[in-house]
Amino acid sequence: MNIELSDVMKGFKPFLFEELYRKERAERAKGRDIISLAVGDPDIPTNESIVECAVQELHNAKNHRYPNTKGNERFRKAIAAWHKRRHGLDFHYIDEISILVGSKEGIAHLPLTVMNPGDLCLIPDPTYPTYRTGVVLAGGEAYDVPLTEENGFLPDLGAIPQKIAERAKLFFLNYPNNPTGAAADIYFYRELIKWAKKNEVIIAQDAAYSDIYFTEEPSPSILQAEGARDIAVEFYSVSKSFCMAGWRAGWVVGNSKLVCALNALKENFDSGQFNAIQNAAAFGLDHFEEIVPGVRSRFKKRAEDFCNGLKKAGWRLSMPEGSCFIWAKPPVDIPSEQAVVKMLEQEGVLAAPGAGFGAHGEGYIRFSTTEPEEVLQEAIRRISAVKW
């Protein structure tokens, strides 16, 4: 029997990071010592108090039953309390917060709640690849909005053609930004919300790196901008801030209609996250002020040291304003994939080619700082030895 895959499935490209994992495995199979800085997978262990909380929750038989897809009350109330402390915002834990099995799945599902075939979604370029996933599933179209170094890697709203703005249904954003490390301030968010309301565009802001910021002021929430709740949702995760990537816990907050629609959709896809994990994540949020600053300062120091090392080796870059990534141009102007292959073949260092994040990422390389300090130091030594 000749099994024919759907047109939707044929439209999917291999996920960038899976391709990078395959490259790494192939080189290791040759017996080579490979340092992989291609993927943002925190090496810092989850705080021991969170782990101990999870252990206790595992022994609670009530947690062995099905969870609520929307998320349990303890976690949603902890999220509401955290947003009040962190952003000064009040959210109703029932109607304005929904738990996700990691923010990635919520981001991928959101277009299915608001887009019809042929609808247009604005997607930054370069960008995290998952923003396109739900658009493809919904039969929508994507329009790439350039993020350039000259504009601080922020979208130039005035440069988006009016015909495109009028057609657009959804706009994905991500600050602090993956892959560029750029930050957005409240003034940008205010202008964005005005633009979005004028053009009736829904805003989806991915705040996965909201607390890995290196600026003097904490990263703002887009929902702090006046009128944002009328038109925006924001996605959060415990993956980076709490070094809980493998736990798969996140949430969406904001416009009630969008939050509830996403939850209703998810009820048909999953049965919610394990309650023991939700309760451990809630514990983490309750102790945010004790746990996260240390994680943030460690990533900041890594970024400073790695950037200094790259600059000494002739790379062109600026210190990121947040995230766990360094976005840099090599000493010579060559295609990003070629640069990645040179580093891998000559010195056994794997990074992510900028072209994998979009056309406007060409010429850049993304390095992840989610490896121990001694590994990052060795990576710099090897990168400095590459013959360009």
Q: What is the DSSP string of 159-176?
A: GS-HHHHHHEEEEEEESS
Q: Are residues 330 and 348 in the same domain?
A: yes
Closest to 193 measured CA to CA, from 152, 158, 228, 235:
228
* Spatial contact of 103 and 130, defined as CB atoms under 8 Å apart: no
Domain final residue pick, 289, 306, 325: 289
Q: What are the pLDDT digits (tens) for 44-58? A: 999 999 999 999 999
Q: Are residues 130 and 206 in the same domain?
A: yes
Q: Is the pLDDT of residue 17 over 70?
A: no
Q: Are residues 190 and 143 in the same domain?
A: yes
* Spatial contact of 272 and 67, defined as CB atoms under 8 Å apart: yes
**pLDDT (average), residues 312-339:** 97
Tell me if 4 is assigned to some domain.
Answer: no
Radius of gyration of the chain (CA): 21
Residue 14's pLDDT band (boundaries 50, 70, 90)?
A: low
Tell me if 284 is assigned to some domain.
Answer: yes
Residue with tokens 């402390």: 85
Residue with tokens 């939050």: 259
Tell me if 88 is assigned to some domain.
Answer: yes
Domain that holds residue 86: 48-289
Tell me if 101 is assigned to some domain.
Answer: yes
Give the ranges where the chain is alpha helix by DSSP (H).
7-10, 16-29, 48-58, 73-87, 103-114, 133-137, 162-167, 186-199, 256-266, 275-286, 288-312, 336-347, 373-384
* Spatial contact of 181 and 321, defined as CB atoms under 8 Å apart: yes
CATH of the domain at 21: 3.90.1150.10
Closest to 197 measured CA to CA, from 171, 163, 234:
171
Tell me if 84 is assigned to some domain.
Answer: yes
Q: Are residues 145 and 280 in the same domain?
A: yes
Report the C-alpha gap between 164 and 148 in whole angstroms: 19
Residue with tokens 């493998």: 246
CATH of the domain at 280: 3.40.640.10
Domain final residue pick, 289, 313, 339: 289
Closest to 242 measured CA to CA, from 269, 203, 282:
282
Instruction: Give the per-residue pLDDT at 129.
Output: 87
Report the C-alpha gap between 338 and 269 in whole angstroms: 40
Q: Are residues 71 and 28 in the same domain?
A: no
Q: What are the pLDDT digits (tens) for 44-103? A: 999 999 999 999 999 999 999 999 888 999 999 999 999 999 999 999 999 999 999 999
* Spatial contact of 347 and 133, defined as CB atoms under 8 Å apart: no
Residue 225's pLDDT band (boundaries 50, 70, 90)?
A: very high
Tell me if 364 is assigned to some domain.
Answer: yes
Instruction: Give the per-residue pLDDT at 111.
Output: 97
Q: Are residues 14 and 85 in the same domain?
A: no
Residue 10's pLDDT band (boundaries 50, 70, 90)?
A: confident
**pLDDT (average), residues 211-229:** 97
Q: What are the pLDDT digits (tens) for 105-120? A: 999 999 999 999 999 9
Q: Are residues 75 and 175 in the same domain?
A: yes
Q: Are residues 265 and 121 in the same domain?
A: yes
Report the C-alpha gap between 241 and 263 in whole angstroms: 24
Work out how many domains the chain is built from and give that number: 2
Tell me if 5 is assigned to some domain.
Answer: no
Instruction: Give the per-residue pLDDT at 122.
Output: 98
| Residue length of the chain | 388
3-state secondary structure of 153: coil
Q: Are residues 99 and 34 in the same domain?
A: no
Higher pLDDT, 378 or 271: 378
Instruction: Give the per-residue pLDDT at 30.
Output: 86
* Spatial contact of 281 and 246, defined as CB atoms under 8 Å apart: no
Q: Are residues 129 and 219 in the same domain?
A: yes
Domain final residue pick, 238, 266, 289: 289
Report the C-alpha gap between 71 and 248 in whole angstroms: 13
Q: Provide CB contacts within 8 A for 2, sequence distance 6+.
A: none
**pLDDT (average), residues 277-305:** 98
Q: Are residues 259 and 324 in the same domain?
A: no
Residue 1's pLDDT band (boundaries 50, 70, 90)?
A: confident
The pTM for the full model equals: 0.95
Return the number of other C-beta atoms located less than 10 Å from residue 116's C-beta: 10
Tell me if 1 is assigned to some domain.
Answer: no
Q: Are residues 76 and 141 in the same domain?
A: yes
Q: Is the pLDDT of residue 15 over 70?
A: no
